[in-house]
Amino acid sequence: MSELLNTLMQDARVWQGHKHRRTTQPAEPTGYQVLDNQLGGIGWPRRALSECLLDTPGIGELHLLLPLMQRLSHSGKTVFWLNPPHTPYAPALAREGVNLDQVVMIHTDEAGDFLWTLENCLRSPVTGLVMAWPGKLASRDIRRLQLAAEAGSNVCVLFRERRYAEQNSPAALRLELEPGANQELKINIVKRRGSWPGQRCALAMAHRADLGFREAPRVVRGPWPASHR
């Protein structure tokens, strides 16, 4: 029993209020050193859910994922956008170095279709990153998605309203986002593996191109890998 307890205490997924441990769970750097420092030097967790909690889209949340999109799309991994509030502006993504051949956007009308699609994206070996805008999710739905995330080896970021910050969630990382002065994005770490919450930082987004959503017909972008057509 003592050996089992010691093993559990070494696991960064077990939160200990009086100390923090550097997690050994797989992760991807965010591309922003100041944020990685606040996240224990690791970044976005793989095989787990992350949540970005914000009041309204278009405050810089896409810039937060831009370095990861660049890196994964050029490594041959697919970047999925699931139910974004508007169609992303592809020319700006291309100018910022994202390989559009690896970008797929999907829109679903029914909640059941959304969960099924997200689960299959998370389990697919071609997936590098899934960005999803789920709207309202029940706790059981989040647990279901967490199990799907654990079955894959990719990064999943759910964009949700800030009011859900009070809702319990199995997500490994939860970030509360707010617009700051001078085109900064203010980040409050609500939860992360291996340490206590409450760390804050601000990222300057002024140097990035405008990736803001543009109104356009909802479409599904490809190409899909031949085995998935």
Write the CB contacts of 64 (distance below 8 Å, at least 6 apart in sequence): 30, 32, 52, 177, 185, 187, 203
pLDDT in tens, 135-189: 888 888 988 999 999 999 999 999 999 998 888 888 999 999 999 887 788 999 9
Largest CA distance in the chain: 59
Its pTM stands at 0.80
pLDDT in tens, 22-66: 556 789 999 998 888 888 878 999 999 999 999 999 888 999 999
- CB-based burial, 170-200: b 16+ in 10 Å, e otherwise: ebbbbbbbbbbeeebbbbbbbbbbbbeeebe
Question: Does residue 219 have a pLDDT over 60?
Answer: no
- Structural domains of the chain, ranges and CATH numbers in brackets: 24-219 (3.40.50.300)
Instruction: Give how far Cα 67 sits from Cα of 24, 43, 61, 93, 208, Å.
Output: 22, 11, 12, 11, 11
Residue 148: its pLDDT value, please? 93
pLDDT in tens, 78-102: 999 999 998 888 888 999 999 999 9
Residue 15: its pLDDT value, please? 47
